[in-house]
Amino acid sequence: MSSQRERAAFIDHLKSHGHRITGERLALFDEIFEQHRHVDAEELLAALHRKGHRISRATVYRNLDLLVACGLVRKQRLGQRRYLYEHIHAGQKHDHLVCRSCGRVVEFVSPGITAMQREICRAHGFSPDHHQFQILSLCAECVAASETQPSH
Amino acid sequence: MSSQRERAAFIDHLKSHGHRITGERLALFDEIFEQHRHVDAEELLAALHRKGHRISRATVYRNLDLLVACGLVRKQRLGQRRYLYEHIHAGQKHDHLVCRSCGRVVEFVSPGITAMQREICRAHGFSPDHHQFQILSLCAECVAASETQPSH
DNA sequence: ACCACTATTGAGACAATTTCTCAATAGCGA
DNA sequence: TCGCTATTGAGAAATTGTCTCAATAGTGGT
């Protein structure tokens, strides 16, 4: 499994911070590193239950925050009501294009935009290292739908 | 008052759509057009109460949606839990830099980034006309705070 | 100005999502 | 293996926004 390195990093982080290595934590880690897309807490909870783990909702939320604190998972509100989580795949820094209507998320990489973001952050005294970037728009389907069935 | 034109447009919109011109609607309009920053529904409600209006929470939410439908107000989730509203000041199209920690919002204009956004939208089949754009990062104060008081 | 019609409002119930509480459980060091 | 205490589970609570429905108040026609 390609997440062996991250799994070890997670376990190290737990140990070095005096946290315990529990079955729930490892199951959640495995689940989110199996998903190669943006998932919310409910989906993770449901997937874990489907696989026979008896883990509670509160534990999922708590340990997602822990994974974020480890730097292994990104937690974002991508225009929708729920937080979405994605595991960080080493090196590959990308940004998000989000459909404001259906919530669909597309990742993209644009070095040019990254450079501009840094510049804008710097110009306004924001950290150029912790930025994250979203474009919210309407995907082709939702544009088509809104043209068929006009605004209201 | 500089919002006379928008106020008239609002009233016209109401009339032409068979909606009534109520005291609550005008009070809300005036309140949001007085605020030159991003406000949430609770702030607007509180401000209106402070000024002696007896308006309910539901009415504030309903009529904010109405103002959005008129194209006079923008409603956005800027990384935070609550929706933020801003009145649209004619012509001036801007994007947002948001502090992920304290929620502070700074507006910026960058024609270069706007062009790149359009290109990315087009490349992925998203509408280049309905886009909106956010950079989430940490403002100087929050960076300083997180360095003083390390991550947890 | 008055009436009747019905859109709008207010108050609180409801819904969706996330966080908190606290007794029971289970890692972990000795 | 034992004991300490971090972690968990279940459900309560908090947060934010939407919905319901009876009461109120704009509006167009007299």
Q: Is B42 left (phi over 0), alpha (psi -120 to 50) or beta?
A: alpha
* Percent of the residues in chain B that have a pLDDT greater than 70, as a whole number: 93
What architecture is domain A1-92? Orthogonal Bundle (1.10)
By the CB < 8 Å criterion, does A132 face chain B?
yes
Which residues of chain A does CATH 1.10.10.10 include? Answer: 1-92
Give B112-151 pLDDT, tens digit per residue.
999 999 999 999 999 988 888 999 999 999 888 877 655 4
- Cα separation, A90 vs A113, in Å, equals 20
Give, in Å, how far the C1' of C28 lies from the CA of A20: 8
Enter the DSSP assignment of A31. H
- Cα separation, A125 vs A108, in Å, equals 26
Give A59-115 pLDDT, tens digit per residue.
999 999 999 999 999 999 998 899 999 999 876 789 999 998 888 999 999 999 999
Q: Which nucleotide in the DNA or RNA is closest to residue A77, CA to C1'?
A: C17
Using the Cα atoms of residue B123, residue B127, residue B128 and residue B131 in order, give the sign of their dihedral: negative
Contact of B78 with B96, CB cutoff 8 Å: yes
Give backbone dihedrals phi and psi of B79, rounded to 5 degrees, phi first.
Answer: 75, -15
Shortest distance, CA A111 to any CA of chain B (angstroms) = 11
Contact of A31 with A9, CB cutoff 8 Å: no
Q: How confident is the model at residue A3 (pLDDT cuts 50, 70, 90)?
A: confident
CATH fold, domain B93-152, is Dna Ligase; domain 1 (3.30.1490)
Contact of B67 with B86, CB cutoff 8 Å: no
Give, in Å, how far the C1' of D20 lies from the CA of B24: 20
**Predicted confidence (pLDDT) at residue B73 exceeds the cutoff of 80:** yes
Would you state the pLDDT for residue B2?
Answer: 60
B143: nearest CB among A97, A124, A127: A127
Q: Which residues pair with B132 in a beta bridge?
A: A136
Would you state the pLDDT for residue A145?
Answer: 81
Would you state the pLDDT for residue B59?
Answer: 98
Contacts of B142-151 spanning 24+ positions with Cβ under 8 A: B142/B99, B142/B100, B142/B101, B142/B102, B143/A127, B143/A130, B145/B101, B146/B101, B151/A69
- Cα separation, A138 vs A144, in Å, equals 9
A83 touches strand C (CB under 7 A): yes
By the CB < 8 Å criterion, does B102 face chain A?
no
Q: Which residues pair with A123 in a beta bridge?
A: none
Residues of A whose CB is below 8 A from B135: 117, 120-121, 126, 131-133
Would you state the pLDDT for residue A147?
Answer: 76
Would you state the pLDDT for residue A152?
Answer: 36
By the CB < 8 Å criterion, does B125 face chain A?
yes
Q: What is the CATH number of domain B1-90?
A: 1.10.10.10
Among B99, B130, B107, smallest CA distance to B38 is for: B107
Which residues of chain A does CATH 3.30.1490.190 include? Answer: 93-152
The amino acid that residue B80 corresponds to is: Q
* Percent of the residues in chain A that have a pLDDT greater than 90, as a whole number: 77
- Pairing, β B83-87 against β A132-137: unpaired
Contact of B79 with B30, CB cutoff 8 Å: no
In A22-125, alpha helices (H): 23-34, 41-50, 57-69, 111-123
A17 touches strand C (CB under 7 A): no
For B76-142, give the DSSP string.
Answer: EE-SSSSEEEEEPPTT---EEEEETTT--EEEE--HHHHHHHHHHHHHTTB-SSS-EEEEEE-BHHH
Cβ within 7 Å of strand C: which of B 34-93? Answer: 54-59, 62-63
Would you state the pLDDT for residue A150?
Answer: 52
Best of B108, B113, B135 to disrupt the A interface by mutation (most A CBs within 10 Å)? Answer: B135
Shortest distance, CA A124 to any CA of chain B (angstroms) = 8
Which residues of chain B does CATH 1.10.10.10 include? Answer: 1-90
Would you state the pLDDT for residue B93?
Answer: 82
A21 touches strand C (CB under 7 A): yes
- Pairing, β A73-76 against β A105-108: unpaired
- Cα separation, B109 vs B112, in Å, equals 9
Would you state the pLDDT for residue A101?
Answer: 87
